[in-house]
Each structure stands twice: as C-alpha cells, then as structure tokens.
Chains A and B, each alone.
Chain A
Amino acid sequence: MSKLAEFEGFFNPKSVAFYGASNIMQKFGSIHLTNLLSAGFQGKVIPIHPKEEEILGFKAYKNIKDIPEQIDLVVMAINPQLINIILEDCGQKGVKHVIILSGGFLEVGNKDAQDKMKKIAEKYDIKIMGPNCSGEVVTPNVNITHVPYPPRKGGVSIVSQSGTYAVQPLIAINSKIGLGISKIISVGNEVNTDLVDYLEVFEEDDETTSIGIYFEAVRRGKEFIELLDRINQKKPIVIIPIGQTEAGTRSAKSHTAAITSPGYVIDSICEQTGVIKVKNSIDMLNLLNAFDSLPLPKGNRVAILTMGGGPGTLMSDLFESNGMQVPMLSKELQMKLKPWMPETASTINPIDLTYSDDMQNFLNVLPEILLKSDEIDSLIFYGLMGTEYFRHLVNVPDFMREHESVVTMKNFGEMMEDFFIALFDEIIEYKKKYQKPIILTCYNTREEKFVAYLQDHGIPVYYPEEGVWTLIRMWQYAKFLKSKNI
C-alpha cells in the first residue's frame, strides 16, 4: 500500500467522530467540530458524549460502538486519563485513524500512559496523530484545529513538531500571506506516526509542491536526512529548526521531551541536502508560497520596478550582497522603456518611476517589456495602491463628506476596482507567458482587495524586504538544482 493510502483516513475521511465536543461552544472539542464544519466538510460528523442526546444539532452517541456506520477518523479532546480506555473502544469498532489533541503524556513525564497508548494502537493497527498535538488541515474541506481560518487550496504542505507553529500562522495566512495549503500536520508527541512518515506522504502526494518542516528533535535522524536529500531534489523543502541555544534547548526539552541538535549539525544537513533553513515562521510561509506559485528563476538577474528610490536602493543592496545581480540594462532596452516613463524617472535598473499615476504603464507596459527581454530573470515591484486607499482617504469628518471634491474622489476609488483587476489579470498572464518569477511588494495586507486577488491567483505580495529574501532563497534553490544537474 502506498504511504498516502495508509494515511487516507486522516486526509479524506467520510465520517469523523468527536470525543470532547459538547453543547458548550468554548470547549476545545466543540471548537474543533465547529471549525471542521465551517471549512465546508461534506462527510458525516458524529459527537460522542456520555450524557447528551444531541450536540450542536447533531445526534450524539454514548459509545462509539453504538454507531451503526464505519468511522474513518476519530478526534479526541478529552481528559487524558480517559484516552486509553476509549482508544480500546475505537479499536474494537475498527477505527484506523485517530487524532489525539489532549496532552498529559510523555511531555509531562507520563511515559507509562504513552507506552500503553502505543500498545493499544499496535494491537488494533491504529495510526495516531499526536497525542499533545494541534490537529490537521487538509484543503479544501478539512480543518481539525482550533483556528477558524481555513486557507485556500494550494500546494504547500507543512509538518510541525510545534502545534502552535503548525496552526496559528493560519491567522497570518488569512490576513496577510494568502498562501495556498495542501496539508498542515501537527505531529505532537509522535506516538506512532512521526515527521518522517508525513514527509513520505508529502513525497508521494501530487497535491504537495513545497514542504515546510518545523522541528525540535528528530527521532529517526538517518531516515530524515535521506528523505530530505531525496525529496528536496523534486520538491523544495524549507526548515525551521529550533532549540539551538541553551535556553532554546531547555524549552524544547520541557515542551516535547526533545533533545535538540546544535546549529552546526543542522547547517551541515542543509549543506548536504540543499534544504533551506530560515529563522522565522513568516519567512518560511513566504518562501513556500513563492515555491508553490512561481516558476524558479533561471538566473540571478533581477529587475526592480519601483515607485520610490528608497525601496529600490535597499532592494538592490540586499540582492547584490546575497548572490544576485541588479544589472544595468542595455541602451536598447532602456530606449524601449523610456517612452512609458515620466521625464524624471531612471531607466537603468532599478527602474524608478519616482511617482506615476499611470497604473497601466507601471503594472502592464513596463513589466512586459522587461519580462520579454533576455536581460533579466525575475521581476520585483515596489509600490501599489488600491481601492482601500481611497476608502481611507475619504474617511473624513461629516461636514466634509458632501464636498464635491471628496465625492469625486470616493467615486473614483470605487470605479478603480474593475480597472485594477484588469491590470492584475495581465500580470497573472505574464507569469504564465514568460515563465519568470514576479513578486509584488507594498505595505498593504489582504484587507486591500487587490492583494487578496493577486495572491489567490498565484502572484505573491509581500513587504519589500520579504519579497527580496524570498527571491534570494528561490535562486539559492534553483542554483542547488543546477549543481545536481536537475
């Protein structure tokens, strides 16, 4: 059986039973059940409760063995002392996949209870995610976490030994990063499924295009390195290793009873396998997003198209001090750009418009000239405004609101929406047509509709420096593949 098929119950359950959901909404189990429903889950949801007949509108059962149909997945968010008892019931019922959210096992020194759990699971051939984990997200319709922000479907899969880093970034994905997720797995104490298992799953999974790993200690180190080495040649892997200082090591030990490896060991693994290490969770998500949605750069030459000198200069410095080039454009190419730019603007690269209100030139005409040329391998923009800008602009005191000029501005802002969308549709086309990475940068978030529109259509939108680092690391990966002749 393929690894993916073995884990099918986690990823594509037709029926999910919940222990710990009740009619009290703020209970952890209730939140997980609700989040599954609001993600649009189409299968059957069955609460199990010792007293209630009905929970949140669903018929409840007292014991899983009373449920007539087959249960593909069980979720447990209950007192840890009850877990092994009900796990035995689940085994007798024929359940093969269980997510145990509850803590209170090896991480607090309760080895006996965890060993017992492992034995029961072995007896009934049950795969357990957890215990002491934060659940999973499987797009489009499974969200068994406490975070009610299901992401859009995409190719990024993440496996994490930290529950928080597995699921809480969903909030930032929802408000800012907008990346597309395939699977997020929180492995917890890894009683019988671990990081290595889920990496094998991601390797097989056609929906997964890029992989993020957050880890403290790896229980099967040798297999882990072999997998990194093999998978990274097909799907880029980004890691965040943690617990590499004295305080970090102490924290990891009390967190998941893990003994971490020193930084130089992790760095050497990155050298050997080409996986990319980043230092913070946002960098990881930004990079995975770019890997999922953009073609890899074929060379290290970047064009910077900017509405402002500062970002252009900072971006140039960052690129050039990290192995990329911001080359001077040829006379011919500059001549092609010039007619579409203000008199005061610089055509050399960075291509700095200083300020232009001609969005069509900035977003379509100039980018297409640049992307078409063989002098650059990727394009980064700085400086965008959208309709939210106008809404904030006309948020004036009441007595001004009816002023003719304010009304004109308000109407203009609303009118702009379709116009912008048409320009963005062109950019989305350029990416396909020229097969070069395109990144937009600005200080807006998904509150601004155009940011959400672009991100949802596979054009990353970042803060300026985030965009630069993302491209630098994409080139690092592209270079690694070249060195392996891939």
Chain B
Amino acid sequence: MYNKEGIKITQSNKILNDILAEDRYFLMEYESKNLLSVYDIPVGEYKNTKTLSEAIEFANEIGYPVVAKLMSPDIVHKTDAKVIRLNIKSEDELIQAYEEVIANGKDYKSDAEVIGVNIQKMAKKGVAEIIIGGIRDKNFGPVLMFGFGGIFVEIFKDVSYRVCPITKEEANRMIRSIKAFPLLNGYRGQPKGDINQLIDIMLKCCDLLMKNPEIIELDLNPVIVFEAGKGLMVVDARIILKEVN
C-alpha cells in the first residue's frame, strides 16, 4: 500500500544513517536541504556540484544570480571560513567564486575535505527574514523556536518557543506573540507575509523533529517569507545530530 508517511521515514532514515555511519554529527547544507525536501519544506533549487563545469551548467539551468558555498564535513561555520559567495551574476564571476571558496576553505583548514560546491539561486528579497529552530529537551523532547533573523534574535531575544507537537492555532499564537510580528503583518503599508505557509512549515518542522529523534538541533536561518500566497524559502539550514558515544 502506498504510504506517504512511511516513505518519508525511510528516506529521512537513509539520509541520517549515511551521515551517522561516517561518525559525523552535523549535516552539510545540501544534506540538510535533502532532508527538508523529504518533509516538503521549500528550500529552493540547489545542487552540490562536483566540478566547475557542473556548477556552470547548473547555474545556466536555474539562471543568475546564484550563490556558491563550499561543502565540507570539516567546516561547520561557513561564514567564519569565508566559503560563501553571494550574488554571483555571471559565468565569469562564478568561475572566480568557485576557485575562491575552495581556496578559502583550504586556508581555514588545510586538510578540509571538499565534497563539492553547492550552487543555489540567489533568493529574492521577501517581506521578512525569519528563523525556525528546534532543540531537543531532555525532559520534554523536541521544542520548536520561531523568531526574526539578525539583531531580533541576537540582541532582542525576540523569539517564541513551544514543545512539539503543536496545533495550527498554537503555531499562529507563536508567530503573533513576538514583538516584531507587525513586520510580518503589513506594517506601514508593507505587504503582508505568507503567514499560512509559515504555519504550515512550522508544523512540518515539528513533524521532522518528532520523527527523527537523532536530531538534537535544527536551525533554518534565514528563511525568507514572501508576500501572502507566495510562500517561503529556506536559504540556509544547519542540522546537528546526537553523538552516539
């Protein structure tokens, strides 16, 4: 019998088991996005390219501008290692960027293994950039977090939490309970964000956390919220697994 839930679990188990088999406890970005895709969480078009020509081919296919990020199991913090290049507008720029992120990766850690370079479409500006996060509490299990990106979370700690599972109403309350909510809701004539889709994706994140007990931390940051009816897109994702030993 066709069982969508069953397939989800099989697929996500495979992704996580392959990583755990390497004694690795964090997912590279494309792996995170593979996993999110299993749960129908929109991550945009991306490809972990193994060669420069593959990167150029994929960039031509999805169209410029694109983003290039080095994928290495030895580099958790891509920004620190300067292995991200944004807003690449042409093939020439891509060739330069491709070599640059690989070189920067080696500078950061000389023995860093290179799995590929992730090419993705440069995200359009949306109504807001938000964060959806998750942690696993030792007593109560998965806890979902919602907040705005950047200074909102770092300085103002303007975030809300709920223990999973949550209902639609609860997700809605979570979104509305942060101080910056008006920025999502058409503040000063700005368009309203797609709150319905946001709720939907928050519920999917809960589902992902509950069905995959190996995950102890989830950080979708940033997630771009577009105008109502136009959905969301996860731009970067970090997933950490529980260390077995």
Contact = CB atoms under 8 A, between A and B. Distances in A.
Contact of B138 (A261, A264, A267, A271): A261
Name, among B139, B143, B162, B166, the residue most crowded by chain A CB atoms within 10 Å (CB to CB).
Answer: B139
B152 interface: no
A265 interface: yes
Contacts of A260: 139
A272 interface: yes
A267 B161 contact: yes
B170 interface: yes
B137 A261 contact: yes
A388 B140 CA distance: 51
A284 interface: no
Nearest to B159: A264
B140 A265 contact: yes
A391 to B, nearest CB: 52
A272 B162 contact: yes
Contacts, number: 47
A259 B140 CA distance: 11
A259 B170 CA distance: 27
Interface string B127-160: 0000000000111110100000000000000001
A268 B143 contact: yes
Given A264-B161, A265-B161, A267-B161, A221 B139 contact: yes
Contacts of B9: none
Contacts of B166: 272
A222 B141 contact: yes
Interface string A196-227: 00000000000000000000011101101100
A261 B139 contact: yes
A267 B140 CA distance: 12
Contact of A217 (B139, B160, B173): B139
B163 interface: yes
Give the contact-size bracket for chain B.
Answer: 10 to 19
Interface in B172-203: 173, 177
A265 B137 contact: yes
Interface string A250-283: 0000000001111011011101100000000000
Give the contact-size bracket for chain A.
Answer: 10 to 19
B162 A218 contact: no
A269 B138 contact: no
Contacts of A272: 162-163, 166, 170
A225 B143 CA distance: 13
Nearest to A216: B139
Contacts of B139: 217-219, 221, 224, 259-261, 265
A221 B140 contact: yes
Contacts of A218: 139-140
Contacts of A224: 139-140
A259 B139 CA distance: 8
Interface string B41-62: 0000000000000000000000
B161 A222 contact: no
A224 B139 CA distance: 10
25 contacts: A218-B139, A219-B139, A221-B137, A221-B141, A222-B140, A224-B140, A225-B163, A259-B138, A260-B139, A264-B143, A265-B137, A265-B139, A265-B140, A265-B143, A265-B163, A268-B143, A268-B160, A268-B161, A268-B163, A269-B140, A271-B162, A271-B177, A272-B162, A272-B166, A272-B170
Interface of A: 217-219, 221-222, 224-225, 259-262, 264-265, 267-269, 271-272
Given A221-B139, A267-B161, A272-B163, 10 more contacts: A217-B138, A221-B140, A222-B141, A259-B139, A260-B139, A261-B137, A265-B140, A269-B163, A271-B160, A272-B166
